[in-house]
Structure 1
Amino acid sequence: MMKTVSVAFCLLCLCALASAETSKVWKEWVSGKPVIPDYSWAGYKYGTEAIPEVSWKVFNVVDYGAVANDGKSDYDAIQKTIKAAEANGSGIVFFPVGKFLVAEQEGRTESIKIHGANIVLRGSGSGTGGTEIHQKHHYVPEDTTKKWTTPPVFSFETSGSGAYHFRLRESFVPVTTVAGAEKNGTFRIDVADASKFKMGQTIMLHMQNSAANNDFLKGLTPRDICHEIIDNGVSVAEKHTVVKVEGHTLVLQEPLHTDIDPGHGWKVYDYPTTEGWGVEDIHFSGNSPTPFVHHKDYIHDSGYFAVEMVQGKNGWIRRCRFTNLSHACFATGCMATSFLMNTVDGHQGHGNFNTKWGYGNLIGLCQDLSDIGSFHGCGISHEHVGGVIWRYESVGETKQTPRCGGPDFHAQFPYCSLWDASVANLRNNGGASFLQPNHLVDLTFWNFEQIGEKIHHDYWNMPKTAEEKKNMYFGKTKIVYPNYIGFHGVMSTFNEDHLGIVESYGTPVEPESLYEAQLAQRLGGAPAWVADAKAAWKKVKAIHREAGQ
């Protein structure tokens, strides 16, 4: 019989007290007996350093032909400025105060491209009186039937990228195979041939094998329409950095987030990345359709898309504002990249901030102020590993206002993700049914505050009747035993049979932020950048709220 987490269950919880108590899960972590992963390996330099205030040579877009507020396109001038910075080997592409135009002509199909390392797009502020980059017309994808593929205005791309994408992976040749078993949490792999690897090289460990399905499903059976995992098996693609080569062993900078069984056919690929990409202090605006209609066409789904970083490492997007867009920014196939102190506002778009096909990316101190919330909220998807959403908010006029903009796990095998100290509604997950589940093992909600309406959640609700089986969206979100620790706010209910660890239902716990606590534990103390970023966010948040009114 189905068990439901409810108010009655809340009263039975050991920690359901008036004030937050130290979590039992955290006590076990500190004692060296962890029951959840180490999620601290996320963000710029994996949280060990603050994002730098770089002082590279400045390339002002005005010097290359851009003119603010003149009603004429600045697209070509911006691209020229970027190429000049790339030729220099690094640079700050600077936008002074004013409005710059990047889509004055209809039918544009090409992004403004950035290929070189150490290139930062820097504006003069993302609030009122700062720098605005405006997209008047939608861009057009190569195939307009693929509604999700419209190119962004700015595309940071690593030369030779593509190995991150499961459809493109077959064109890449693996360097070697994994030869030995390893445990989740270790920092090494044994390979058949280590002679072609060097210190600092980024690699991808890939495996797709139905024999591994149970490791990531914990005994759950997917629906028969989940064709990818049933027909081909779970697909895993962890990205790592080699710090040392010892005989046949590659020593890694980052921990493995899964067990390695060489019998599952693990392969090792070279995985080139580009470091030092940044975007900061810019207001991006567009004319995305309103009201938004999900999957109506490519214009609604992705026609107005600001920034994407592809196969970057140690990059960032910070203190930016995104208004009336289909999507704000994506980290695609990236490692150790941070999106910090950013805001989405205006009317509803398709999504906001997303990280996919990567390792250890952080979306933190961000907010969705759009009118009813982005249709899909902040997202982790597509084989991403070790992603963290930290102190994110999507709140309407009041916390009781129903809205979108909550967690989005858009399927295709993400695992080991943390939603930390965030406030949003639990609704509108996405993802193609044939690529489900939405999320595999090791998803933790820590001190998540639900707003909006009360909802019942069953994360593995399967159709039973013939009529139910006709509905490809039956039961909606499929997540493998998510953990809920310190869940509070609007008290939704859950089918407890399909949850993992449940602690302190109805009351927040200490530590307030698991990411911050694990990071401090790993580094021997809280890094200064965390407190600095939280203090700065209070000011940026207020500037964005005022500008968006």
Structure 2
Amino acid sequence: MQLYRRERMRGHPTRGRAAIFVALFTWAGVAGAAPPLLSDQDAFIPDFSYAGYEYGEQAPALEKARHIDATDYGVVPDDKRDDSRALQKAFRAAHAVDGPVVLRLPAGRLILSDILYIERSDMVLRGAGQGATEIYFPRPLMYLPDPPALQELREYLVEQNKQQREKANNIDLPFSQYSWAGGFIWTRVPGERVKAYLDDYSQPFTTLATATAGRRGEHWIEVEDGHTLSVGDVINIHWHNRDGEQGPLLDAIYQTDQVTIGSHHWTQPDQPLVRQPTRIEAVDANRVRIKDTLLHDISASGGHTRIVEWPHLSRVGIEHLSLTFPTAPTIAHHVEPGYNAIFLTRLFNGWVKDVQIHNADSGILTEEVANLSLENITTTGENLAHYSVSMGDTHNVLVKNLKVHNRVRHPLSFNTFATRSVYTQSQVYTAPVLDQHSGANHQNLFDDLEVLVQLDPDHIDDAQYPLFKGGGASYWKPTHGAYNTFWNIRVQVDGGMDDSRPLRLHGVSDGPQARLIGIHGNRPLTIDYGPDALIDALNTPLRSTPSLYEYQKRERLGEP
């Protein structure tokens, strides 16, 4: 069976175009049963195979790096004394090294109460192992001086009157700047904006070329003048909506007229609504070939597509350690004090691997990053967390083998501006939610996951669970754009083998053109999802193709 490209535009009938091969796979049904077929064989499914470090083609590592030891700069493990000053000294030494550098942390417990900024490329922060090196954070970020980089966010929260109001709990508290930003280990390009919130902070983009043509799913772009572009350049493709509420870019993102689109999609036309960081593979006069495929037709933005400079770091890794916070009471949603472990910003080709995070408000947060591999990560703890590993403003980011043991409001989350990113081969063991936050997130993949559902014992007969419950502000609605895909999701319900009643999975009523394929469990499932959701192979595990991401990557690379 083949899946072919289809164009469907908001407010227009289906437009036939030349069929473009997307994927070929074999369905695995129950033994002895005929394999199920897609009800719509022309349904478009994005190519997710470029997610990860170096587009999934290399294991993340630094070669021929100089190794320096944090103990040479005064770091002493297990002495119950704060190591912040010594760690800062070791960080300054690592930043001064000419060429790739690995900063090695010793086994034992280190105590950190200050932010460690990674501000250079070709640097790895490496512990002695997930169970050997532990960084302990005795207090949250709220007790540190306000980071200047979050000044814009602080003003935005005040301007928008962002308050957590829970009348029943006597709560009327301002949002914390650390609810979705900041971390004790923070990658950044000094002086570069973390995220756009207010026009007063707008900075002009350095335009390298104006794009004039290009088709979704293809590699070649035509530009007005390609003389400033070179092979190997990492650039950012910006699609702007300068045409208001009826802009063609909104058609491209949402592919339907059955959703209400929030005002933030057109009130900041100078900010890109879709961005695609990528690398130039070839330049032929005024034609440019990029490594991965285009998210949208260039014409989708009505002629408002630019190729711009993207200041960023590359080849930064954090690995082989544990990050621990103290047990703390839960106050309310969005007023987290800032027990945030890792904040990745402005990073291309980076990684976090073999890391355990305990009692964090947010384990890993991201902002304007691409082609990261976040692998073999475990989150645990007694505190109610906000995020485990969150994807915000990501492109081609891969989260693989994430194990979420603790209670998290948004255990797996595609947030604002996330595109072509993937959660795969991961498990959520407590109160699972496959969250999609409003904000033009689209073409993302939940892949080969297992979630453990514990039904409310007081409402056990309701036979329903909000697995797809989404979040986000109304001005960024709907919950997601077209072609977010759920592939081979295993739903294990406590006591499910003893109950033959169908369990209804729901949570998203306004996310268009979702693909839900191979969702199954230990009791019968039904799905309530809309609009225009493609639901196939329901209650059928996809045994021969358990991971869409791995299948597409093997096909692209010609691997068996």
Please classify the TM superposition score into its range, dividing by the shorter chain length. 0.7 to 0.9
Equivalent of 1:422 in 437, 449, 472: 449
Structure 1 residues 277, 200: CA separation in 2 closer, same or farther (over 3 Å shift)? Answer: same
Equivalent of 2:48 in 32, 39, 55: 39
Aligned mates of 1:147, 1:499 — CA distance in 2:
36
Structure 1 residues 166, 336: CA separation in 2 closer, same or farther (over 3 Å shift)? Answer: farther
Equivalent residue runs for 1:445-524 within 5 Å: 445-452=486-493, 454-457=503-506, 459-460=508-509, 478-489=510-521, 491-495=524-528, 498-509=531-542, 510-524=544-558
Structure 1 residues 147, 291: CA separation in 2 closer, same or farther (over 3 Å shift)? Answer: closer
Identity of aligned residues (%): 22
> Any gaps of 5 or more consecutive residues in structure 1?
1-13, 397-402, 461-477, 527-549
Question: Residue 364 of structure 1: CA displacement?
Answer: 0.6
Aligned mates of 1:114, 1:157 — CA distance in 2:
6
Equivalent of 2:397 in 354, 361, 364: 361
Matched AA of 1:136: P
Aligned to 2:176, the other structure's residue is in SS state: coil
Aligned mates of 1:292, 1:420 — CA distance in 2:
33
Aligned counterpart, 1:536:
none
Matched, 1:118 2:122: yes
Matched AA of 1:502: I
Structure 1 residues 359, 73: CA separation in 2 closer, same or farther (over 3 Å shift)? Answer: same
Q: 1:125-152: CA deviations, max 9, x gaps?
A: 112xx11001110112454944143531
Question: Residue 292 of structure 1: CA displacement?
Answer: 5.9
Aligned to 2:553, the other structure's residue is in SS state: helix
Aligned mates of 2:475, 2:207 — CA distance in 1:
30
Q: Once superposed, what is the RMSD of the aligned Cα atoms?
A: 2.8
Check conservation: 1:161, 1:310, Cα contact below 8 A.
no
Aligned counterpart, 1:86:
95
Check conservation: 1:178, 1:189, Cα contact below 8 A.
no
> Any gaps of 5 or more consecutive residues in structure 2?
1-26, 148-153, 158-173, 454-466, 495-502
Equivalent residue runs for 1:123-162 within 5 Å: 123-127=127-131, 130-140=132-142, 141=146, 143=154, 145-149=174-178, 151-162=182-193
Aligned mates of 2:32, 2:345 — CA distance in 1:
43
Q: 1:222-261: CA deviations, max 9, x gaps?
A: 447x221365689111112122222222221111122220
Question: Residue 24 of structure 1: CA displacement?
Answer: 4.5
Question: Residue 294 of structure 1: CA displacement?
Answer: 1.4
Structure 1 residues 290, 429: CA separation in 2 closer, same or farther (over 3 Å shift)? Answer: farther
Aligned to 2:421, the other structure's residue is in SS state: strand
Aligned counterpart, 1:277:
316
Check conservation: 2:351, 2:373, Cα contact below 8 A.
yes
Aligned mates of 1:292, 1:20 — CA distance in 2:
52
Structure 1 residues 27, 119: CA separation in 2 closer, same or farther (over 3 Å shift)? Answer: farther
Greater fraction strand? 2
Question: Residue 43 of structure 1: CA displacement?
Answer: 0.5
TM-score, structure 2 normalization? 0.78
Matched AA of 1:316: W
Aligned mates of 1:26, 1:515 — CA distance in 2:
22
Aligned mates of 2:222, 2:350 — CA distance in 1:
29
Equivalent of 1:98 in 91, 102, 108: 108
Check conservation: 2:341, 2:364, Cα contact below 8 A.
yes
Structure 1 residues 265, 72: CA separation in 2 closer, same or farther (over 3 Å shift)? Answer: same
Aligned mates of 1:440, 1:85 — CA distance in 2:
42
Aligned mates of 1:176, 1:49 — CA distance in 2:
29
Check conservation: 1:183, 1:259, Cα contact below 8 A.
yes
Aligned mates of 2:493, 2:88 — CA distance in 1:
43
Question: Residue 67 of structure 1: CA displacement?
Answer: 1.0
Aligned to 2:428, the other structure's residue is in SS state: coil
Aligned counterpart, 1:239:
277
Aligned counterpart, 1:17:
30
Aligned to 1:502, the other structure's residue is in SS state: strand
Check conservation: 1:446, 1:514, Cα contact below 8 A.
yes
Question: Residue 162 of structure 1: CA displacement?
Answer: 2.8
Aligned mates of 1:20, 1:448 — CA distance in 2:
20
Matched AA of 2:230: K
Aligned to 1:336, the other structure's residue is in SS state: strand
Aligned to 2:386, the other structure's residue is in SS state: coil
Residue correspondences, number:
470
Aligned to 1:283, the other structure's residue is in SS state: strand
Aligned counterpart, 2:499:
none
